[in-house]
Amino acid sequence: MKTQEDGLSRRDVLRAGAAVSAGVMLSSHGRMFAAGSDKIRVAMVGSGNRGTKDAIDCLRADPAVELVAIAEVLQDRLDASVKKIRSRFPDRVKVTPATSFVGFDAHKKVMAMPEVDMVLLLTPPGFRPQTLRAAVEAGKHVFMEKPGAVDPVGVRSLMASADLADRKKLSIVVGTQQRWQPQYQELMRRVHEGELGEIVGGQAYWNWGSSKWHWEPRQAGWSDMEWQIRCWPYFVWLSGDHIVEQHLHNMDVINWATGSHPISCIGMGGRQARTGPEFGNIWDHFTVEYEYPNGVRVMSMCSQIEGSTSRVGERVLCTKGATVTDRSMGYIEDTRGRKVFQYTDPIHSGEVTQFKNLIGSIREGKPLNECRRIAETTMTLILGRLSAYTGRALNWDWAMNASKLDLSPEKLEFGDLPVRPVAVPGKTRLT
Ligand SMILES: NC(=O)c1ccc[n+]([C@@H]2O[C@H](COP(=O)([O-])OP(=O)(O)OC[C@H]3O[C@@H](n4cnc5c(N)ncnc54)[C@H](O)[C@@H]3O)[C@@H](O)[C@H]2O)c1
């Protein structure tokens, strides 16, 4: 089935308006949100490819949203993003030179703006825990891209921010858009209602026949830090490796289906096709067996290898059949692999819906906090990476409670930043 554009129909706008008029709430700084007439002022932290699209989707989601400020570390990215968003929404982009901030402390400046109601956290995930904490401490509602962190110390910070957001009645919605896709919702409902019996296992894949996402040759004049920020997916401290950065989407579906997270895993992988120093220190393939409660075992695999077969999606195996999903379809097969149900209603990407629901939660005063859930899914993939990197079977409780791994560099500044060695199983130590 072809995915429809996740836009706003007239009916959606009317429905949103009705929901809004039923509820009135105070923002963090005491401003009223009422009857859809009041503005929601948004700031971006990071304004690259996905972030620019997210900001556009946020503006599409609600006619009363205005973009008022941007925090970036690269001026060219900020300028290009403002230009692109303004070309779509000339009247609702209120960013000025005075509200454009560049530097590693730029996010603090948007958090200090009392008129900002909501921030979009759109940097590489290595910066997510600290920008999230700053947002929640400043009383801002949050949309944040996945993943939530790159190491266990970052995951624990997410958990603390989730608690604080609850206490402050703030919403945090995360860019796991498949959670809002109708075919996923329908199949997960059937799993949760027991139509397929008990869950006994599953498979998750992000095998990508592509290997140069966000890669460009290093240019003379770029410091180590600038190179790493511009090509961030290739550096573990920024991306968590592609198992965390990309495969998170599939394991989030498995965690959703099981309503839990793994208790242990054993993983392996390496770097075979993409080996040069120009590709930083990440690997190009992983496979991990996860054990969930009740003996449920899930095989996960992900690769970024040019020319290899692409398979991106999930299977949830149950005693009476299995769900098979990806972002464009969903069906159920029986225990002999015969298709017994196909989702045939229109499918949308969930990318505007996630903002509609976030904004709805703010207007209605019913905070929607997905932070704990993304912290657990992020840890699921970090656990797999740590197991593969070290060659050791690992327990969830150790990673969640005892690991001291914190990949952030000592200094955040444009200058020298040597690349840490590529992990080698049996030699790379657990931290
Ligand atoms: N939900 C999805 O399907 C999806 C798709 C693509 C990307 N993403 C996620 O979106 C995030 C951004 O990815 P992208 O493709 O836009 O990358 P990008 O490199 O295009 O954009 C990231 C931007 O953040 C800026 N930045 C880096 N460090 C910063 C800091 N400390 N403060 C402020 N700005 C900073 C960079 O200069 C850059 O402009 C990532 O977490 C990625 O995993 C999600």
CATH number for position 332: 3.30.360.10
339: helix, strand or coil: strand
Question: Looking at the predicted structure, is the pLDDT value of residue 48 above 80?
Answer: yes
pTM above 0.75, yes or no: yes
Q: What is the pLDDT of residues 183-238, one digit of tens each?
A: 999 999 999 999 999 999 999 999 999 889 999 999 999 999 999 999 999 999 99
Number of domains in the chain: 2
Rounded to the nearest angstrom, the distance between the alpha carbon of 45 and the centre of ligand 1 is 9
Ligand 1: which atom is nearest the Cα of residue 175? Answer: 1
Q: Does residue 197 share a domain with residue 142? A: no
Question: Looking at the predicted structure, is the pLDDT value of residue 248 above 50?
Answer: yes
Q: Pick the residue whose CA is nearest to atom 33 on ligand 1.
A: 72
**What is the average pLDDT across 104-132?**
98
- As a whole-number percent, the residues of the chain with pLDDT over 90 amount to 90
Ligand 1: which atom is nearest the Cα of residue 127? Answer: 31
Q: Does residue 121 share a domain with residue 186? A: no
Rounded to the nearest angstrom, the distance between the alpha carbon of 46 and the centre of ligand 1 is 6
Q: Does residue 97 share a domain with residue 82? A: yes
Band of residue 5 on the pLDDT scale cut at 50, 70, 90: low
141: helix, strand or coil: strand
**What is the average pLDDT across 74-97?**
98
Rounded to the nearest angstrom, the distance between the alpha carbon of 411 and the centre of ligand 1 is 20
Pocket test of ligand 1: the residue of 6, 122, 250 to mutate, having most ligand atoms within 8 Å of its CB, is: 122
Rounded to the nearest angstrom, the distance between the alpha carbon of 106 and the centre of ligand 1 is 15
Rounded to the nearest angstrom, the distance between the alpha carbon of 55 and the centre of ligand 1 is 12
Residues with CB under 6 A from ligand 1: 45-51, 71-74, 77, 104, 106-107, 122-125, 127, 145-146, 175, 177, 214, 229, 232, 245
Q: Does residue 322 share a domain with residue 173? A: no
Rounded to the nearest angstrom, the distance between the alpha carbon of 145 and the centre of ligand 1 is 8
Band of residue 32 on the pLDDT scale cut at 50, 70, 90: low
DSSP 8-class letter at 400: I
Q: What is the CATH number of the domain that holds 46?
A: 3.40.50.720
Rounded to the nearest angstrom, the distance between the alpha carbon of 116 and the centre of ligand 1 is 20
Q: Does residue 360 share a domain with residue 287? A: no
Residue 292 lies in a domain: yes
Rounded to the nearest angstrom, the distance between the alpha carbon of 237 and the centre of ligand 1 is 14
Residue 42 lies in a domain: yes
**What is the average pLDDT across 369-387?**
98
179-189 in b/e form (b: 16+ CB < 10 A) is bbbbbbbbbbe
**What is the average pLDDT across 108-115?**
98
Pocket test of ligand 1: the residue of 44, 50, 358 to mutate, having most ligand atoms within 8 Å of its CB, is: 50
Q: Does residue 338 share a domain with residue 246? A: yes
- Residue carrying structure tokens 């004049």: 221
Q: Does residue 122 share a domain with residue 266? A: no
Rounded to the nearest angstrom, the distance between the alpha carbon of 236 and the centre of ligand 1 is 14
Residue 419 lies in a domain: no
Question: Looking at the predicted structure, is the pLDDT value of residue 14 above 60?
Answer: no
Range of the domain at 120: 3-178+353-370
Residue 425 lies in a domain: no
403: helix, strand or coil: coil
Residue 429 lies in a domain: no
When mean pLDDT is compared across 35-39, 291-295, 308-312, 390-394, the lowest value belongs to: 35-39
Q: Pick the residue whose CA is nearest to atom 1 on ligand 1.
A: 175
Q: Does residue 216 share a domain with residue 115? A: no
Question: Looking at the predicted structure, is the pLDDT value of residue 28 above 50?
Answer: no
Rounded to 10°, the helix 248-258/371-390 angle is 120
Cα three-residue angle 323-325-330, rounded to 5 degrees = 80
Picking from 140, 146, 155, the residue whose alpha carbon sits closest to that of residue 179 is 146
Q: Does residue 142 share a domain with residue 189? A: no
Question: Looking at the predicted structure, is the pLDDT value of residue 16 above 50?
Answer: no
Residue 408 lies in a domain: no
Residue 148 has a pLDDT of 98
Q: Does residue 215 share a domain with residue 162? A: no
Pocket test of ligand 1: the residue of 47, 81, 133, 145 to mutate, having most ligand atoms within 8 Å of its CB, is: 145
Q: What is the pLDDT of residues 325-368, one digit of tens each?
A: 999 999 999 999 999 999 999 999 999 999 999 999 999 999 99
Q: Does residue 125 share a domain with residue 184? A: no
Residue 159 lies in a domain: yes
Q: Does residue 338 share a domain with residue 264? A: yes
Residue 166 lies in a domain: yes
When mean pLDDT is compared across 34-38, 239-243, 335-339, the lowest value belongs to: 34-38
Question: Looking at the predicted structure, is the pLDDT value of residue 7 above 60?
Answer: no
Residue 8 has a pLDDT of 46
